[in-house]
Copies of this chain bind each other. A is one copy, B any other.
Amino acid sequence: MASKLSPAQDGPDLATRLAATRGLSAALAAPLSDADATIQSMPDASPAKWHLAHTTWFWETFLLRDHLPGYRRFDERWPFLFNSYYEAEGARIARASRGLLSRPTLAEILDWRAHVDAAIAPLLDDPSLAGLIELGLAHEQQHQELLLTDIKHALFQNPLGPAYSSDAKAPSVESPADDGWWDHPGGIAEVGHGGRGFAFDNEGPRHRVLVQPFALSQRLVTNREWDAFIADDGYRQPRLWLADGWAWVRAEGVAAPLYWRDDAHFTLAGWQVREAEAPVSHISYYEADAFATWAGARLPTEFEWETIAQGHDPAGGNQLDAPGPVAPRGAPGLFGDCWQFTRSAYLPYPRFQPAEGAVGEYNGKFMAGQFVLRGASCATPRGHSRASYRNFFYPHQRWQFIGLRLAKDA
């Protein structure tokens, strides 16, 4: 099983949380037309409708098909459409073709969701399935975030610049007073998930690491600072860049974060004036690394980040009503504004073992070529953040809400 779950759960019961999570997915699609929910702007991103369907396929396959005797699929032809990458679950359409599925319609997908939700109900009391259901909830929450980042990217392609929603969340403005550093003396630290509550398999096993003395900035880099980097020819000085990053800058003609244009940037609420003190977002690893070099600092390792964040872990509470910034516990920006690239490659922890079966394809098979991001963003659903969480992307990718927190040697 691809999760680490202790038997006892605090907070709302499973049925309540399942209803809330499933309802939130549908609510996220509410501002979208069938056509909006169908388009796909690049192979990395998926249509909103596809996210609604894929998460439902996940429940139907791994919970209903495998554990509900007599369950028959809503439509036998749909797994081919909505399996993402599970080789053990058979063939599927090419990722780049997800945007060609005008059928089934959004309404049909919502019908399917209701059908599956109803079928799940009798299984919620089976304690042997609790871990699988927790995995399904976490999986659906991940796709809630992707639904938002993907529709943002799709709407950005439209020269009309349509808004997803006028009151959509964005990274919040940092207080200038936050300009300090957390100092850490180094030593043996424990990292990885080891306590109660759900975690993905890639967050464990919990283990000890040796950390060198370091300092971690108490805030994210801001748009104002990024403007200074640009003004200082940051995108034109090869000495600041990793070799692959410099090749990327030149091949793609990169000269600013994604979504920037003049003094504005594209948001889920449409084109908006950029706020100077808001955290910069939608940057690649290459850009983050070049900025850090320019600033005389560096990116933190994932364990430096986690060691600090363990004192501010939001995972105790599970707020369910909407995605958006988690109530901070004294550390604004660690969770809920932007994901933060670390200089750690996404690799297995000691003694990591992927789960048996198809759900074992969840995390482990992506452990090459990507970097770990820590924290959470304004698009991360409440209840989905924790100090041990490991997100991962390729160094050129930047359509997620990705920002930057500096570190330095102490």
Contacts and interface: CB of A to CB of B under 8 A. Distances in A.
B154 A351 contact: no
Contact of A105 (B33, B100, B242, B361): B33
A246 interface: yes
A365 interface: yes
A395 B409 contact: no
Given A160-B77, A162-B103, A87 B246 contact: yes
A181 to B, nearest CB: 17
Nearest to A367: B242
Interface stretch (A9-17, A131-139, A208-216, A274-282): A208-216
A235 to B, nearest CB: 14
A157 interface: yes
Contacts of A99: 39, 99
* Identical chains bound together, number: 4
Contacts of A239: 87-88, 361
A4 to B, nearest CB: 18
A80 B289 CA distance: 29
Contacts of A335: none
Given A39-B99, A102-B158, A345-B345, 10 more contacts: A35-B102, A38-B38, A102-B155, A103-B158, A209-B210, A210-B210, A212-B351, A242-B368, A289-B368, A369-B395
Interface of A: 33-39, 41, 77, 80-81, 85, 87-88, 93, 97, 99-106, 154-155, 157-160, 162, 188, 207-210, 212, 238-239, 241-246, 285-286, 289, 343-345, 347-348, 350-351, 361, 365-369, 371, 395, 409
18 contacts: A33-B102, A35-B35, A35-B37, A35-B103, A38-B38, A39-B39, A39-B102, A41-B100, A77-B160, A80-B159, A93-B159, A100-B157, A104-B160, A188-B210, A242-B366, A242-B368, A244-B369, A345-B347
